[in-house]
Structure 1
Amino acid sequence: MRFQEYEAKEIFKEFGIPVPEGIVINSDSEIIPAIEKIGIPAILKAQVLVGGRGKAGGIRVVENLEEAVEACREIFNKKIKGYHVKELLIEKKLEILTELYCGITINRTLGRPVIMVSSEGGINIEETAEKNPNKIFTLYCDPLVDIYPFQIVNLVKNLGLKGDVLLKVSQIIGKLLQIFNKYNGIIVEVNPLVITNNKQVLCLDAVIQIDDSALFRYPEFQEKKFNQMDYSLQRLEKKGATYVQLEGNIGLICSGAGLAMATMDTIKSFPGLSPANFLETGGSITPELMEDCMEIVLERNVLKGIFINIYGGINPIHEGAKGIARVIKDRELEIPIVAKALGNKQEETWEILEKAGVYTYKKSDTHGAINYLAEILHLEVKG
């Protein structure tokens, strides 16, 4: 679960981490009183749960009220990486002397938290990580052993900071680590962490993402997580299914997480094919569930095809096939769909799907089924 910037900053304030004064608005009609309170010049920041807002035009500096009103309307009418802007954070523009980066995440290879700092903060931190990795300094943490303040100070010294500023930055990083540990963080990040002309140290941005698997520990966040989902995802969540959007071209529906991951790997092994999503159906395969699965997969308009990989054990699978057939009929779909559907009521399932125009694969090997899809798409096949 990821927090909006202003929500993350509220948590920062609870831990004594300095952030600029800000006001959140939900419509352009609120911009004038907000600007009158914050003052000019100001920064308008779209509140969306993705990075790269600045490069996408979601962060604007305004120098007068008229410019603020115009920029506010433009941002509210934007979609940033597929997300509609529903909230805007307005903050006073600061006189910045230095921009730094600091973040805490999990090193997946070592299985340990790592603190990262850099003197190259700002919108180009990804470029710095790629082209100048020597400008990013790290401190690995042992989850069972406390990090001492002197270790953080020694890390921050790599940025060339001294005196009071060195201590302020070090203290902020220590508090970020407290947040990371308290909330089972996946990432806690500030970019940029700024030093102003009068030597203040402030977090201009704030990212907190916590592990969804730990949400049971934080009931106050569970409803927020659910409300972040669009309506289609909420319907799937209620039925026990799990969906994650990816960047590929083959829609995927599978009856189980392990089967879905193995299928994704197999799809990726074919030239020209890549999974457009992860979707596992969870519980029983009902017509309504499969309709919802089909609808959310079809929201992507870049699909070359759809691959369905389901098994029926105790639960029969022919009822789910009825839901798939309904969506195909209602939408008059022409996109190729291959289904490997085996198990309880498989013959009835094949009949329903074939009448709907689905290509059925009746053997047990997933590789062969995806090979069949590749043949239908006239792509390179694998022996």
Structure 2
Amino acid sequence: MADLFDKGAATEPKAGYRPLADRLRPTSLDEVIGQRQILGPDAPLTVMLSSGALSSLVFWGPPGVGKTTIARLLAHETDLHFEQISAIFTGVADLKKVFEAARLRHENGRGTLLFVDEIHRFNKAQQDGFLPHMENGTILLVGATTENPSFELNAALLSRAQVLVLERLGTEDLEQLLGKAESDLAQPVPLDAQARAALVEMADGDGRALLNLVEQVSAWKVDAPLDTEALTTRLMRRATKYDKSGDEHYNLISALHKSVRGSDPDAALYWLARMLKGGEDPRFLARRITRMAVEDIGLADPQAQGLCLQAWETYERLGSPEGELALAQAVAYLALAPKSNATYVAYKAAMREAGQSGSAPPPKHILNAPTRLMKDNGYGDGYAYDHNAEDGFSGQNYFPDGMDRQQFYQPVERGYERELKKRVAYFEKLRSKRQT
């Protein structure tokens, strides 16, 4: 067993050494692992290549999923010169040189596939600089970005390129990649089955990260396969991918909100934990959790909003990590609370009506008349004081004169709103009685 796992000097870098990730780079599109949604039989890239009509593209996806590799293979498949630049290190002068070289190639009958990594880091003027060269065929642009193109790229550039979404590699994809790595190394990684699965999990959907981990683990001198505890002791767990101001921020808060709305406390707590683990500001979460109570629970559970505010205050007093438990309690409570967006819907409907009805004044009978002139002009004339009316309800009109009565608020048959629905029906019955 020692011979099987003891690599010793065999892993020492040699002259011309190539990292494992470079050695395993696919040489054809058929060898690409994952991304069937763009490389499958009827997927966009396959259709483009078979029809001979490859257009400019923007690859949007997380790191380590094959954006650079696929761009390089597309150039090979279409016999285009492959030129790669990074928006981080490329300035205006560098771009001019790239465009001039592509122009000369184009005049000599050879096209250029220009791959721009981190294209979202170019400013608006730099992005606009690509447009004339794309339009006259000097370059076929393939941009790569980890950020949402809708927000980071110019509309003019997006109108000339097709956005393709690349997804993080799944467990099966990573296991397949791990098998290829072991074949290249001519030996298995020195891990037992559980540790092997943990290694795949550590990669977090990033193929390049997995190969780097495999190369690191394979260099260890061990006498027997390591278990998960030994692996995690020797190897620092890869940080969870989370951008507090980017897509992950909005994606995860959306997942948390919808899990609460869907009455799933377990999923809601998971997404809350993911955001806290990623370094999200708990105050942001406290504000959004309170919004959930207002928007999705409403009067179906009038206590929900107060509980969220108490959790927020508790966090402010205790701080992290103790105060985060109060936020978790609020999330669990909201997920299990009866749901109603009746007030939210009613408010939006009232806002629409207010915008359409313009500046129609209230009816004069509900206007105060503090001066003689206002009294003489009918202010307050005919007002019925509800406390003096039968059942404490006058049934008068409170909408502008000439405006049909509206019903914005329609309580649901859930939680406390069952009682409110009875009250709405009760007052509607009295209103009809008073009018007749």
Q: What interval of TM-score do these two structures reach, taking the shorter chain for normalisation?
A: under 0.3
Name which one, 1 or 2, has greater alpha-carbon Rg: 2
Richer in strand (by share) = 1
Q: Identify the structure with bigger relative contact order (alpha carbons < 8 Å, sequence gap 6+).
A: 2
Q: Which has the higher helix share?
A: 2
Query: TM-score if structure 1 supplies the norm length?
Result: 0.27
